[in-house]
């Protein structure tokens, strides 16, 4: 669907009801192919939604910690996502990963820091 829409120059700054742009819910839901493709556009991978979360934070906080979310974390980091950006309470993606027992994601984030 994204490949069909991109030639029409969609508004990549369009926000959902939580103030997030498309990469954020895609990261949360484990849509690896979408995230991989959308980060090749001008989308802001460090956009912060109304909850105070970036795509990286949502992938960790709302993801399952398994391979799809591990891959999304890698993709976002490679695209310039800032692993030091905390949520509204000052908790970083690494701290969230550790608190959830997502050891693989924690290792990916540690390597990025």
Domain assignment present for residue 10? The answer is no
Q: What is the pLDDT confidence band of residue 78, given thresholds at 50, 70 and 90? A: very high
Backbone angles phi, psi at 24, to 5 degrees: -70, -55
Domain assignment present for residue 33? The answer is yes
Per the structure, the complete domain to which residue 31 belongs is given by 20-112
Domain assignment present for residue 5? The answer is no
Domain assignment present for residue 8? The answer is no
Domain count, the chain: 1
Residue linked to tokens 């839901």:
29
4-61 per-position pLDDT tens digit: 777 767 767 778 898 899 999 999 999 999 999 999 999 999 999 999 999 999 999 9
Give the CA distances from residue 85 to residues 9, 55, 81, in Å, rounded to whole numbers and listed in that order: 29, 11, 9
**Cα-only R_g, the chain:** 13
Q: What CATH number is associated with residue 54?
A: 1.25.40.20
Q: Report the distance separating Cα 46 and Cα 78, nearest Å.
A: 12
């Amino acid at each position: 669907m994204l490949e069909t829409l991109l030639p029409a120059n969609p508004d990549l700054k369009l926000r959902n009801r939580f103030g997030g742009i498309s990469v954020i819910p895609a990261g949360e839901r484990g849509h690896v192919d979408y995230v991989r493709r959308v980060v090749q556009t001008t989308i802001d991978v460090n956009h912060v939604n109304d909850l105070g979360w970036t795509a990286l934070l949502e992938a960790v906080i709302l993801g399952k910690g398994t391979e799809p979310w591990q891959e999304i974390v890698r993709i976002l980091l490679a695209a310039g996502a800032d692993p030091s950006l905390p949520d509204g309470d000052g908790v970083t993606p690494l701290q969230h990963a550790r608190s959830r027992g997502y050891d693989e994601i924690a290792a990916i984030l540690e390597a990025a820091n």
